[in-house]
Every structure is written in structure tokens, then in C-alpha cells.
């Protein structure tokens, strides 16, 4: 394996691209677009009408770093629960509504920070788009137009044959125009597809054709492993071109997992400050210690640490010392021992059985000092070099 510098860069790397210029909307206290930091959102999986369970899941999401949460609102009972949920949630709540205008009005009245609704659906069943635009305007409630490949307008499916990027974008811009004709532009848009290639091309096209902030998502991305990769690849492509203002990773997994993945994607792209980072080698035939186990144990031991600390876990003495030396804290293992480095200096050599506890102990000391020095809070990250 090639030796690489694991040190925290003194000057942060420049962003991959200038952010696309977009108008700004306010989802409660969270600004979206207009150069605001890219936010991470998720969606509850509870019945919204079960207020206790929904608030409990929102609290878990908040603790995992989620900044905006969406709740489904398919029934009157769900609509009735919105006011309490919006009031008690620690993060802004978006009501996700299809078809029924009465739930849109209920969500706006309930104090939801935004509503996801497609005016095309509303127009088709009960044309109250003008009233919705006025109510949203009066309450300062932004609206997300969310076009999904799976629910694309039949007219566009006939025109394009399938959910192509052009079809998704035409649908989104048509939906937006239904609000624009009433002077309402407090909008963000998503054009989701389960194929990252189609999705990336759709967002690229949309980014060229409007200045609305964009909510990125790969819809039905799949179970955790596949969904994480699809989302990372698609968001990475778009965000590295400056496209995207808020992200939702969709996984068939608990929503807090979506948030962790979203945060990690932003940190990896340098769009969010990196926090605790475990840099562990992939191991190879030279390894003299079980690197996976060591890395897992150190990661578990430092879970919850909220300072930007880079901890290197290296499997052997060939590349290990050079690399561990570059991190804030590191270990290079060999011959049943571990050399412990702090800020480039070997501070001690301990038996293999003591490596984990020594690293945790030293990490705590450094973290304490960093906290005294005013380092901010954040999420841990794990990187395999």
C-alpha cells in the first residue's frame, strides 16, 4: 500500500466547484439554497398519527444530526397530528402530501416548516392551486415539488416513452409553473429516479433551467449497502459540480442511518467540516494484528466524540509508523506491540492487548484539550485508507 499523509490539512482544501447560484428558501430556521450549507434531511417511518412514536423518531433523527424531517400525511388523523408534531419537534417538519388540498391547508395552519406537494396532483383532483399558493405565501411556508420516476405524469410517459431526465425536468418545471402563475416562487424541487445516471442527468438539466434550490435524492435506492453507494455516487457527482442544496439519502434501513450516510457524504466532499475520523489501513499480508477488530474497537470506544480528531490505526511496522505519525493520534502495530503516536511523537509502546484502551485514553485527553480550545461538535467518520 502506498504511504499517504493522514495529517489534518492546515488549510482546508478548496471546494470541488462553486455552488450553483440558486434562490434561497427558509425551511423553518434552516436556509436552503442561495449558498446556505447543504442540509441533511430524512423522513419518519412511523404513522404520523402516532404522535409519541413520531416525536421519538424525530428525537433520534435530531440526535443523529438530521436537520429537516419529513412526515407522511395520508389521512385526516395524520393531518390532525401535525400541529403537535411541528410544535414539539426540535427540527423543522415538512408535511408530505399527495392529492388532498385539505391536508395541505391543515399542514400550513399547523405550522409545518414546509409542505411537499405536487400542484399537478391537486389540479387533477380539486383545482385549489391558487388558494394553496396564497395560503403558503401568507404563512411564509415554502413548498417542495417532488417529481418521482415512479409517479410521472402519464402524458409525459407517453411523450418520452419512459422517465427520462427530460421527462422528469419537464414535469418539475410544469409543476412549478402552476405556482408561478399565481406569483408563488418559494419553491424547492426534486427530480428523483432510482437509477443514479438518470437522476444525475435530470438534476444537471434542471439546474440549467431554473434557479430554484434543489433537493437531491435517489429514490428507492435500496438496502443500506446498495443505497449508500448509489446515493454517494449520485450526490458526489452533482455536489462536486456545485449542484444540490439539501440531500436525503433513501435507504431501506432506519432513518438515522440515512442521516449518517448523508453527513458522511458531505464531509467526504469537504462540504461539511470533518469530525472524528478513524483512518485505518485495509490490512494486507504484512499485518501483524487484526486491523478490522482493532479499528472497530477504537471506533466503538470513541463513538460520540465531537472533536475534529484524526486517529490512525495501522496494521504493521512497514508503513504504519510513517502514517500513524501524521495523524493526531495513531498506532503502528507489530510483534505483539503497538507504538502509540501523538502529534507525530511516539509517546509509548504498549502490548497489543492494551492498544485500544491506550488509544481511547489518549484520544480523550486530546479531545478535552480541543474542547477547551473551542472545537465545535459533530459526527464521527470512518475512513479506510
Closest distance of CB 196 from ligand SF4, Å: 30
Number of residues that bind ligand SF4 (CB under 6 A): 13
C-beta closer to ligand SF4: residue 16 or 284:
284
State in Å, rounded, how far the first CA of the chain is from the last one.
9
Q: Which is nearer to ligand SF4, 323 or 379 (CB)?
A: 323
Task: Supply the minimum distance, in Å, between the C-beta of residue 199 and ligand SF4.
Answer: 35
Binding track over 107-146 against ligand SF4, x by CB under 6 A: ----------------------------------------
Question: Contact letters (x/-) for ligand SF4, 286-315, by CB under 6 A?
Answer: xx--------------------------xx
Least distance in angstroms from the C-beta of 229 to ligand SF4:
23
Rounded CA-CA distance 376/373 in Å is 10
- Least Cβ distance, residue 349 to ligand SF4 (angstroms): 17
Residue 138 phi, psi (nearest 5): -60, -35
d(CA 77, CA 99): 16
Distance, in Å, from the CA atom of 331 to the CA atom of 293, rounded to the nearest integer, reads 14
Least CB distance from residue 285 to ligand SF4, whole Å?
7
How far, in Å, CA of 70 to CA of 93, rounded?
Answer: 6
Closest-CA residue to 139 (of 118, 109, 184): 109
Q: To the nearest whole angstrom, how small is the minimum distance from the Cβ of residue 337 to ligand SF4?
A: 15
Q: Which is nearer to ligand SF4, 53 or 318 (CB)?
A: 318
Contact (CB, 8 A) for 245 and 27: no
Query: In this complex, which beta carbon is closest to ligand SF4, that of residue 89 or of residue 280?
Result: 280
Nearer to ligand SF4, 139 or 286 (CB): 286
Of 142 and 315, nearer to ligand SF4 (C-beta) is 315
- 1, 51, 346, 350: which one contacts ligand SF4 (CB under 6 A)? 1
CB of 22 within 8 A of CB of 245?
yes
Binding mask 311-340 for ligand SF4 (x = CB under 6 A): ---xxx-xxx--------------------
How far is C-alpha 33 from the geometric centre of its chain's CA atoms?
Answer: 15
Q: How far is the CB of 65 from ligand SF4 (least distance, A)?
A: 30
DSSP structure string for 16-39: SSPPPP---EEETTEEESTTPPPE
The b-or-e profile of 316-327 (16+ CB within 10 A means b, else e) is bbbbbbebbbbb
Q: How far is the CB of 316 from ligand SF4 (least distance, A)?
A: 3
Stretch that binds ligand SF4, among 189-197, 224-232, 283-291, 299-307 (CB under 6 A): 283-291
Query: Helix count (H) and strand count (E) of the chain?
Result: 13, 16
Asked whether position 282 contacts ligand SF4 by CB under 6 A, the answer is yes
**Cα–Cα separations (whole angstroms), residue 240 to 19, 347, 377:** 9, 40, 25
Based on C-alpha coordinates, what's the Rg of the chain? 24
Distance CA 182, CA 310 (A): 52
Q: CB nearer to ligand SF4: give 199 or 287.
A: 287
Residues at the site binding ligand SF4, with contacts judged by CB under 6 A: 1, 281-284, 286-287, 314-316, 318-320
Amino acid at each position: 500500500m502506498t504511504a499517504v499523509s493522514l495529517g489534518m490539512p492546515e488549510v482546508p482544501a478548496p471546494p470541488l466547484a462553486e455552488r450553483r447560484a440558486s434562490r434561497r428558501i427558509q425551511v423553518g430556521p434552516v436556509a436552503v439554497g442561495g449558498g446556505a450549507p447543504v442540509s441533511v434531511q430524512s423522513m419518519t417511518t412511523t404513522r404520523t398519527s402516532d404522535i409519541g412514536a413520531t416525536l421519538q423518531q424525530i428525537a433520534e433523527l435530531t440526535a443523529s444530526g438530521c436537520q429537516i424531517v419529513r412526515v407522511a400525511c395520508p389521512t385526516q388523523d395524520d393531518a390532525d397530528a401535525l400541529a403537535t408534531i411541528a410544535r414539539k419537534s426540535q427540527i423543522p417538519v415538512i408535511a408530505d402530501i399527495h392529492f388532498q388540498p385539505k391536508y395541505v391547508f391543515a399542514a400550513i395552519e399547523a405550522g409545518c416548516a414546509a409542505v411537499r406537494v405536487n400542484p399537478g396532483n391537486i389540479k387533477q383532483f380539486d383545482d385549489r392551486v391558487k388558494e394553496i399558493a396564497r395560503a403558503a405565501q401568507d404563512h411564509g411556508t415554502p413548498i417542495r415539488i417532488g417529481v418521482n420516476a415512479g409517479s410521472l405524469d402519464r402524458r409525459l410517459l407517453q411523450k418520452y416513452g419512459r422517465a427520462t431526465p427530460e421527462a422528469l425536468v419537464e414535469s418539475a418545471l410544469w409543476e412549478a409553473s402552476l405556482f408561478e402563475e399565481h406569483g408563488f416562487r418559494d419553491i424547492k424541487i426534486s427530480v428523483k429516479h432510482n437509477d443514479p445516471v438518470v437522476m444525475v442527468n435530470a438534476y444537471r438539466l434542471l439546474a440549467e433551467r431554473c434557479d430554484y434550490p434543489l433537493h437531491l435524492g435517489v429514490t428507492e435506492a435500496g438496502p443500506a449497502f446498495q443505497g449508500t453507494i448509489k446515493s454517494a455516487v449520485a450526490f458526489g457527482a452533482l455536489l462536486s459540480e456545485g449542484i444540490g442544496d439539501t440531500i436525503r439519502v433513501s435507504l431501506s434501513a432506519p432513518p438515522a442511518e440515512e442521516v449518517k450516510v448523508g453527513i458522511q457524504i458531505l464531509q467526504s466532499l469537504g462540504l461539511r467540516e470533518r469530525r472524528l475520523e478513524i483512518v485505518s489501513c485495509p490490512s494486507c499480508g504484512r499485518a501483524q494484528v487484526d486491523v478490522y477488530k482493532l479499528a472497530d474497537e477504537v471506533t466503538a470506544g470513541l463513538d460520540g466524540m465531537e472533536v475534529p480528531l484524526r486517529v490512525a490505526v495501522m496494521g504493521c511496522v512497514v508503513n504504519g509508523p510513517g502514517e500513524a505519525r501524521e495523524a493526531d493520534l495513531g498506532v503502528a502495530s507489530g510483534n505483539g506491540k503497538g507504538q502509540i503516536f501523538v502529534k507525530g511523537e511516539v509517546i509509548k509502546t504498549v502490548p497489543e492487548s492494551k492498544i485500544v484502551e491506550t488509544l481511547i485514553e489518549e484520544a480523550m485527553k486530546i479531545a478535552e484539550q480541543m474542547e477547551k480550545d473551542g472545537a465545535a461538535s459533530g459526527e464521527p467518520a470512518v475512513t479506510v485508507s
